[in-house]
Amino acid sequence: MATSSKKIITPDQFVEQQDGRTVAVVAGSFDLLQPGNLKAVRTAALHADLVCVIVEPDESVSGHTGNGRPRHTVDERMECVAHLRDAALVIEGAPGSELFAQLAPYTFVHCKELRDADPCFEPAQAHADAVVEVGLVEGCSTEMILQSLRAGHTPISADIAPPVQAAEHARPLITVNGCFDILHIGHLRFLEQAAGQGRELVVLINDDESVRAYKGDKRPIFSLPLRSNALAMLETVAGVRPFSGDDPLELIKELRPEIHVKGGSYEADRVKQEKELVESWGGKLMTCEIVEGRSTSNTIEALMK
């Protein structure tokens, strides 16, 4: 069983998994792994030993959002959250249930600007020992992101510093490269497979200009700092390094990975140079299967509908 899957539990398993440690709770739909809810999870990790993320079931999300949401099933949304390094436990729970009473005592972390629209706020606050408010990442609630997509106002930016990079990486080193614009279940499963090939996984990520040249004027959806920080929060990712231009050859040459991994959708002639470069020092190019029907383009299309 993947490490991420082991984090998904039922409420009845909570006490055993908690094992007397302090808990911080974050609750929401998690329809996207967007900067706002990532910030809440990161903040929660600073206030307790364990972060427990409550993911609303499908009927609850559709009841208070409308507009065809949620875009993904609760099982997919929980799986995505479980890939976050700071999310220790993931539970499905509706706002009107007795779940929050079962989890007490805990610290509740939420976005203060969105609490009026959050059906989890009142029940979660009522049973919390402490409440921590985080500020809104401007333009980065799910509804704000949808508005930016429809208006073509991309990339969405925020005042967030890129993650700090380690000077050295453990060996064998694995690399992958891509845009990683809106993280979805296809990305997360691919990265988990790639990370399983070695000690550390470093993601080589296209900068905004190279994404635009490759994908079109309306991409990327998220700016480079937002995309880099989202990747850095994943349990499978040890480092994130940006590159410009059409290919990551110079960065691959600098890092000298033992294995460079491509997703099943790559074009063989586009990666010929990457393959030859990695093999020049005894490394190898590998492939991992992708999740059919799961891509950033498909995610954007679904969001726009």
pLDDT, tens digit, for every residue of 103-117? Answer: 999 999 999 888 888
Do residues 248 and 262 lie in contact, with contact meaning Cβ atoms separated by under 8 Å?
no
Query: What is the DSSP annotation of 222-247?
Result: B-HHHHHHHHHTBTT-SEEEEE-SS-
Q: Which amino acid is at 31?
A: D
Instruction: Please give the span between the terminal C-alpha atoms of the chain, in angstroms, as a whole number.
Output: 34
Task: Check residue 3 and give its pLDDT.
Answer: 61
* Two tokens, residue 234: 């994943």
Mean pLDDT of 149-172: 86
pLDDT for 286 beyond 70: yes
CB–CB of 41/26 below 8 Å?
yes
Q: What are the backbone dihedrals phi and psi of residue 302, each rounded to the nearest 5 degrees, phi first?
A: -65, -40
Strands, E, within 29-80: which ranges?
Answer: 50-55
Query: Is the model's pLDDT at 303 over the cut of 80?
Result: no
Closest alpha carbon to 240 in 169, 291, 289:
169
d(CA 45, CA 26): 10
* 161 secondary structure, DSSP code: P
The residue-averaged pLDDT of 1-13 equals: 82
Predicted local confidence at residue 265, as pLDDT: 60
In which band, very low, low, confident or very high, does the pLDDT at 1 lie, cut at 50, 70 and 90? very low
Task: Measure the CA–CA gap between 250 and 244, rounded to whole angstroms.
Answer: 10
76-96 mean pLDDT = 95
State pLDDT tens for residues 211-246.
999 888 889 999 999 999 999 999 999 999 999 998
Average pLDDT over residues 31-41: 92
Give all domains of the chain, ordered by start, each with its CATH number. 3-151 (3.40.50.620), 173-304 (3.40.50.620)
DSSP 8-state secondary structure symbol assigned to residue 119: T
Which is nearest to 37 in space by CA: 66, 70, 67, 80?
Answer: 80
C-alpha gyration radius of the chain: 20
pLDDT tier for residue 70 given thresholds of 50, 70 and 90: confident
- pLDDT of 22 strictly over 80: yes
What is the average pLDDT across 17-40?
93
111 closest CA partner among 170, 175, 199, 37: 37
**Residue that the structure tokens 């998994």 belong to:** 17
Mean pLDDT of the chain: 90
